[in-house]
Amino acid sequence: MDIDALLRDFGELTVTGLAQGAIYALFALGYTLVYGVLRLINFAHSEVFMVGTFAAVLTWRAFGLDQNSPVPPAAEAAGYLLVALVVAMLAAGLTALVVERVAYRPLRRRNAPVLAFLITAIGASVVLSEAAGVLTRRQVQPTPSLVRSTTVVQFGSTRVTTLQIVLVATALVMMAGLDLFVHRTRLGRGIRAVAQNPEVATLMGVNRDRVIRLVFLLGGLMAGVAALLYDLKIGNPKYNVGFDLGVKAFAAAVLGGIGNLRGALLGGLLLGVVENYGAALFGSNYINAVAFVVLVLALMFRPTGLLGESLGRARA
């Protein structure tokens, strides 16, 4: 154990951990929303994310940008980012809707048991990821650098770069927007109603199928944002990019309390930071093990996650 390394670099480890955690948090929203409403773990969500990462890279490629392009000036880069953001969100959102339509709705119509949903979820995930693997010959997709990393703020020896601020700020803004949507709008009220009691909600005139579609769409859109941030921070997506990251995001959702939007944010950021601390203490090859040990420990003390499962509660 290298406690010195942890103490010496504590600030920077925290900042870079938050940046990675922002991606987990946005990714985790898809799991949390769908679980909150349907009590279903949508394993295909990792592929929704994967489609988003590819969509953003392909968009940039269409503009003639590749991994060797120089970093464009800020205004131009912002344009590329915005276009790629819209494309990635649309692609991911659409994929989520298609998965819902093809893999889940037919089963729901027939009142299939929970286990059947689990299997179709895994099936949809494998189909999408393998299809992408075959189409891309399992190669990574090289990614241009669009944000010049300059130090913006400095606390002592800890520097915060543009990219890190973009990552965390985007996650916070998206999260706040989604929170407002769910708690303040008519459609959001529908989501909460179905999460709380599907039968009563239907009796009260809420269209359950529409709510479910909406939830998948929202999860997909957020995964699209996460995908863009991933391309900015790490890049080089390939067909199985969603797998490991999806497991982490799912863990983040459970850590924060699955079905709880703010929990996903907290869980994601916390997981990112804890991973970094663990990597500093034990070496980066323990990064995955440490994350899950912490998850298990946290769940032992708070079985429903740090903030509890709240989407369905009357006063959320």
Sequence-ordered list of residues with C-beta below 8 angstroms from that of 57, at least 6 positions apart, any chain:
141, 142, 143, 231, 235, 237
Q: Helices 162-184 and 186-196: crossing angle, nearest 10°?
A: 80
| Identity of the residue, 191 or 245, whose beta carbon is nearer to other proteins in the bound complex | 245
Q: Which long-range contacts (CB under 8 A, 24 or more apart) does 111-115 make?
A: 114/39, 114/40
Contact between 299 and 258 (Cβ < 8 Å): no
In angstroms, rounded to a whole number, what is the distance separating the alpha carbons of residues 186 and 308? 24
Q: Which is nearer to other proteins, 67 or 304 (CB)?
A: 67
Q: With respect to other proteins, which residue has the nearer C-beta, 134 or 204? A: 134
For other proteins, give the closer residue by CB, 287 or 299. Answer: 287
Q: Cβ of residue 12: shortest distance to other proteins, in angstroms?
A: 5
* Choice between 17 and 30, CB closer to other proteins: 17
**How many Å apart are CA 179 and CA 177, to the nearest integer?**
5
The residue (of 45 and 192) whose beta carbon lies closer to other proteins is 45
Minimum distance between the CB of residue 279 and other proteins, rounded to whole angstroms?
A: 3
Q: Which is nearer to other proteins, 177 or 283 (CB)?
A: 283
The rounded distance, in Å, linking the Cα atoms of 175 and 169 is 10
Q: How far is the CB of 140 from other proteins (least distance, A)?
A: 6
261 closest CA partner among 37, 55, 9, 93? 37
Angstrom distance (rounded) from CA 222 to CA 53: 12
Minimal distance in Å, beta carbon 22 to other proteins? Answer: 12
Least Cβ distance, residue 64 to other proteins (angstroms): 15
Reduced to 3 states (helix: H, G, I; strand: E, B; else coil), residue 167 is: helix
Residue 158, SS3 per DSSP: strand
From the CB of 96, what's the least distance to other proteins, in Å? 23
Distance in Å, CB of 223 to other proteins, minimum: 16
Distance CA 218, CA 188 (A): 11
Query: Which residues contact other proteins (rule: CB under 8 A)?
Result: 5, 8-9, 12-13, 16-17, 19-20, 67-68, 70, 137-140, 142-145, 149, 151, 157, 161, 163, 233-236, 238, 240-241, 244-245, 275-276, 279-280, 283-285, 287-288
Length of the chain: 316
CB 229 within 8 A of CB 272: no
User: In the bound complex, what is the minimum distance in angstroms from residue 249's beta carbon to other proteins?
Assistant: 13
| Contact between 105 and 28 (Cβ < 8 Å) | no
Indicate the residue among 138 and 313 with the shorter CB distance to other proteins. 138
Number of H helices, E strands in the chain: 13, 2
